[in-house]
Every structure is written in C-alpha cells, then in structure tokens.
Structure 1
C-alpha cells in the first residue's frame, strides 16, 4: 500500500484587483489578498463610533439576505449613520466569498474585539475563511516555519481582503499560511468581518 505525501501550499498572491481572490484555488496558494482601502466616509464614521455602538452579529445566511442583516445589526447597535455603506461593503465581500468558496450559504460574523483574542498562530478549522478589518489594526499572517510560527510576519492593511485556506480545504495540499490577531500594542478596538462557507450539512 502506498500513501500520497501531502504537498505544502505556501504561496501568497496579492493584487489591487479583486479577481486575485479567485486564485485561492490554484495549486500551492494558501492566501489570496486583495489590497484595497475602505471608502473614506465609512472609515470616518466607524472611527467616530464608541466601541459599544459598533455593530455585532453572527448569522448563517444566503448572500441575498446580507445587506438587510447588516442594516439590522447597525440599527440594533445605534450605528445607523454608517448602515448603508457598511451594508454595501459587507454585501460585496459576501458575494466574493460565495464565488471563491462556491458556497451559496455563508456564516457571517462582525466581531468587535479589544486586545488580542487569537494570539496563537494558526490555520482555521474550516475549509476557507475571508477576513477584512474595517476598524483598527489588520490581521497578521505569514508562511509557517519551525514550531508553527511564521518565517516572516506581515499585516493586512485596514480594508484589505484576504481569503485563507483552512485545515479542511479539499485536496492533497496542506495550508501553510498561518495568521493571528494583531498584538494589543498595535492599538485600538477592531471591527472584523469574518466569512466562512457552510457545507451541505449546514456545518462550517
């Protein structure tokens, strides 16, 4: 009996063109990064909100319901001033995630964090994940090295969109780009968009 030796996917593709996200499915690619900025008006409105008024949510839903869900979260948090622009941005991210992951259902989170909730370098226990920081310092990432720590450390810019392979990515390649929350000293409350595909059984 012979066993296939898993290949290690360590490549990172980045571009100012959103189509780069589709390269996550290419051989050897563990991270595709769309380098872009938030609309200035949305960035100002989010920065002006006290942390307790930043919208929070965690829901499984189809892309067509995302905009309404974001608007409702903004209303619940008394963050109505930014609801339309935020809904438009997250709706776009959800459409991109649906295309990259070929998943009509998504698990969408708006996480508000202070400090470093995920300090350990890791690969997520999902097939894939989209991350985009809307406020505060961006996610740190790098190619895995000895001991599970990255050989080099990079930080996503605010507004940049990264799609990462997770531990459950299908195929024979092992995801080898790890990431973590930025250290506390990076400063500021974060608002992070997290989007995962939902499989046919309804589990991420």
Structure 2
C-alpha cells in the first residue's frame, strides 16, 4: 500500500480521533502529544508509516526555569513563554483569604522602577484596604516581581493590573498587544496557553472560535503562584508569533481568582 491511514485516540476519555497519513508532516510537539496520549513512543508512529523525515522544526512555546534569574531565556527566538513553577506561598494565601470577588475590579496604574512598592500599596489602599498591614507578604512578593520586570521593560512604561475574577475573564485564545507581560495567579487556576504547533494562526487572527484555533490537543495551565513571562505581538519578530493564551474557566461556587499582571 502506498498510503496508511490509522486512528489514534488523543486521550483515554476522549472519543475524538486524529488521522495519520504516511506522508503527512508532523512536528516533534505533535508526535510527542500523540505518543503521550496513547502511552507509546515515536517508534510506533514510524511503524504505521510516518517516516523520520516527516518531522519538521518548530517553535517550542515555553521553557521552565527554577528561579527569576533565568527569565532572560525569554529572549531566545524559540521561546514565547518562560515559567517559574514555584511552590505555593502559604502565608500569602492566608493574607488573601479576606479578598472577596469584588475586591479588585480590574484596577490598573502606572508603576515605576524603584517605586513599585509605593505604587502597589496605593493601588490596594484605593480599594479600601490597609495594604501594609493586611498584605505585607503579598506586597513584598509583587514588588520583587515588578523590579525584575523593569529590567526587561527597559525604558518602556509599565502598567500593573490587579483583578479578582469570579467569572471567566478572556475566554477566547488571543495574543497580547504588548512587548512583554508578566502574570501570576495568587488564587485559583492560572493562565491557559497553547504551544506554537497547536495554533492555527490564520484562524486566531481572523476572529475564529477556539475550536478552529486549536489544531490538536488541549491547552496547558500555569499552576497557582507560578510566574509566567510571555511575549506579545509587540516583541520584535512576534507580530504573528506571540504567545496564544486565554483565561481559565471559573466555575460557579469557586473562589474568585486573584490575578497580578504587568505589561510593557
């Protein structure tokens, strides 16, 4: 036979199927996704007729690091997201227990290097809290992240956003109109994102729904307290290659998400 067509389930509980053809072009991310879902390895794909030459190079959307010191990897052409998957900071979680769903209704302000703590405290105090006594650990942590972000922003203005979300914020996969964005979700699920190979860029740019944007697989989700630094379409060379992401779903009855975001 000159062509083989087989079906491989994408997940044990998922009854959708993908077709594999002998001369189809698959990249390493797609093959890794398929093989991990059916718990086999790439040899199984070669056995059903996909040659080694079918692998094509791709942009790996993300890399994981073990400290803020490694965030410079965002400038690698192969990366549009750097994630520091740090542990949950329990003391900050306790501070945020007093924060209700309406505490921070998408509040924003310009912040400046060397003055981030004062700017953040003023933003929190404007919502009726005594920032210094109610959130000392949270304030310290956001200040630390802000000062790191200023190093990447250079002379670009930086805007901070604090938001509590009892609903799904931005449900459609999109790319930010920014140079860089730093995000950290202090309560609730983190930002969802797609690897570059998963994205149909034409569908995303045309306003198509999520079902048309996602070529295969499922989005990944940043853990609570993880810190992500992502490229927007304003980053050089990323006019059509910024990180494609969205807000996670917030189910009725779930605690409101607490989101910290910096843009430049």
TM-score (norm 1): 0.82
Question: 1:39-50 to 2 correspondence within 5 Å?
Answer: 39-50=89-100
Question: 1:15-164 to 2 correspondence within 5 Å?
Answer: 15-54=65-104, 57-80=107-130, 81-103=133-155, 105-143=157-195, 144-146=198-200, 147-149=212-214, 151-164=217-230
Distance in structure 2 (CA, Å) of the matches to 1:177 and 1:16:
21
RMSD: 2.5
Say which structure, 1 or 2, has more relative contact order (CA 8 Å, 6+ apart): 1
In the alignment of these two chains, the number of paired residues is: 191
Q: Is the 8 A contact 2:100 2:256 kept in 1?
A: no
Distance in structure 1 (CA, Å) of the matches to 2:234 and 2:191:
21
Q: Is the 8 A contact 1:20 1:33 kept in 2?
A: no
Q: Is the 8 A contact 1:8 1:176 kept in 2?
A: no
Distance in structure 1 (CA, Å) of the matches to 2:105 and 2:123:
5
Distance in structure 1 (CA, Å) of the matches to 2:229 and 2:214:
20
**What is aligned with 1:193?**
260
Q: Is the 8 A contact 1:62 1:104 kept in 2?
A: no
SS across alignment from 2:72 = helix
After TM superposition, which residue ranges in structure 1, 4 or more long, deviate above 6 angstroms?
A: none
User: Where in structure 2 are there 5+ consecutive unaligned residues?
Assistant: 1-56, 201-211
Bigger fraction of residues in strand: 1
User: Where in structure 1 are there 5+ consecutive unaligned residues?
Assistant: 1-6, 198-204
Distance in structure 1 (CA, Å) of the matches to 2:93 and 2:238:
40
- Return closer, same or farther for 1:142/1:109 CA change in 2, 3 Å cut-off: same
TM-score (norm 2): 0.64
Structure (1 or 2) with the larger CA radius of gyration: 2
User: After superposition, what is the alpha-carbon deviation per residue over 1:105-125, rounded to whole angstroms, capped at 9, x for unaligned?
Assistant: 311111121111200011111
User: After superposition, what is the alpha-carbon deviation per residue over 1:168-197, rounded to whole angstroms, capped at 9, x for unaligned?
Assistant: 111367425311111122832111111111
